[in-house]
Structure 1
């Protein structure tokens, strides 16, 4: 299906025609989207392009003696831009969806779509049924990991990832919407005033230092957002566990029996 190349260009992608890249995939693709810094709204001039998606293995790959290729990955260079494509088999991806895994949901719901199918749209429609209050743990943990990385390296990238994860988690708990785009989150969640400037600074280099950042102040801001996330989780209307298991099971079975429909 043709992609909205103008939309991809507005997201800062240096390469917008990704159809030829995906055409050579061994297994039928259910979808492929852009993740990473381009999805989060703070790509740098030298950011690589992170493509994520789902493939559908044939039945014989699951029934035979060989280990199924549940995750496929490859990297290549396109006119000086590093490209990275990682896809999971549909069953593995849906199992991850049924866990409090915000990362796969961000991939599924990414507005930066480079390949889609009818089954992709069905999967998107079922996504609200897997959102739970426990997704706060995912974003809390991811933010903590990135903060430790910032403390160790002093780079701006993990600091922005820290703030992005916390704000995404807060917004999800309050609204039930998975929103990974940091500039959009700033209009929806009260956030530190320094963030627009940090986003602008990140545009210059993917691994640049966080010059001018007051680490003590940043630590206080992060601690404050953790408390906000805790409160948002306590007050959320999201359920404790996912629903829609049967519908997702049916979709996986149908896709496996008719893999051509995933292409």
Structure 2
């Protein structure tokens, strides 16, 4: 009976109405109906508890979603504030930009400056060319090499002397016996090679690349007992990189050393 009273106190008025009529006309309680109604009330109570739990869970979820939404709203407000700040800065910067008229003036000034720079570059190029031409015209190219000991070069071989006395411009290569023109121009080339052996002779030729441009012949007859000079003196135009050398063409006589024999050349006039 106490249980019913407690249930009645906890349930809604509609639920209490279900229990109140469960008595007979004589005032006695109908146990069977009472049990059925109690069971029904327990089911209703369990359902209410379940709904309450579900409602509580939904409330927690809703609160979580509300917090997330609040955080997102705060972030959006922060971004909006930053955007407003950037917009203010952009407006300020735009207010400082020159007008279209000022921009046109600036472009015109830049074009004028570019034209002036181009003209200056052309002047500099012309000056450089002039200076280069002056330097070339004033270039000093000359070499002289002598022979320290007697040699007997083989036929058709390049004659190589070993005692370099002068090599301004660095055109002569003592190892190969070849002179390479470092400057284009007119050169004078000479050679004085003495046939040392008696009753023998020496024939030499001067080559410019594959072209033979000069030759000489000297003899030392036994009856004369004097050495004979084999002389070459010529002028030739050499372009930059052209090469010249002397070759033994004939005879078996030695070439006298001890600086009696020598050859060389010099730039007379440079050509631009």
For the criterion TM > 0.5, the same-fold answer is no
In proportion to residue count, which structure has more strand?
Answer: 2
**Under a length normalisation based on structure 1, what TM-score does the superposition of the two structures give?**
0.19
In proportion to residue count, which structure has more helix?
Answer: 1
